[in-house]
Amino acid sequence: METEELETAAKKTPHTHGECTKSILPVRDALEVLSGKWKLPIIISLIFGNKRFSQIAKEIPGITDKMLSKELRDLEANCLVKRTVYDSIPVVVEYTLTDYGHTLKPVIEVLRNWGVAHRERIMHL
């Protein structure tokens, strides 16, 4: 019996490379925005309300100042977070989720729902 003649379903839906790649790229973009250990905690923390640097730091156990600073800059570069400097003494900086940042809420919801179900499933094995 030749390999090529196997009765698998493998050949049923032919498709091109380009199709796949084009379909993957934007998904990757979205995942990148949420990637890493700290972006999600930061975004979710800001969904609950505007925060100052040290407030976020306190709310996220384990994060270092360096990572918080770096990730906030990342999120700002992606227009998801706005940084406002208050000219007080000492200087206070407030971080806000932009309107655009809030468009992530349904995305996070879908991920959460799937995640909850997945957790259930993996537990009961």
State whether residue 90 is helix, strand or coil.
Answer: coil
- Which of 18, 71, 92, 102 binds a copy of itself (CB under 8 A)? It is 92
| Comparison of 66 and 120: residue with beta carbon closer to a copy of itself | 120
State how beta strands 92-97 and 51-52 pair. antiparallel
Residue whose entry in the numeric block shows the structure tokens 């806000």: 96
Question: What is the separation, in whole angstroms, between the first and last Cα of the chain?
Answer: 38
- Which of 18, 26, 66, 85 binds a copy of itself (CB under 8 A)? It is 26
| Comparison of 25 and 73: residue with beta carbon closer to a copy of itself | 25
What's the rounded Cα separation, in Å, for the pair 71 and 52? Answer: 14
Evaluate the CA torsion angle 7, 9, 12, 16 in order and state its sign.
negative
CB of 124 to a copy of itself, least distance (A): 11
Provide the binding-site residues for DNA, judged by CB under 7 A.
2-3, 35-38, 52-55, 62-67, 69, 72-73, 83, 89-94
Q: Please tell me whether residue 15 binds a copy of itself under the rule CB under 8 A.
A: yes
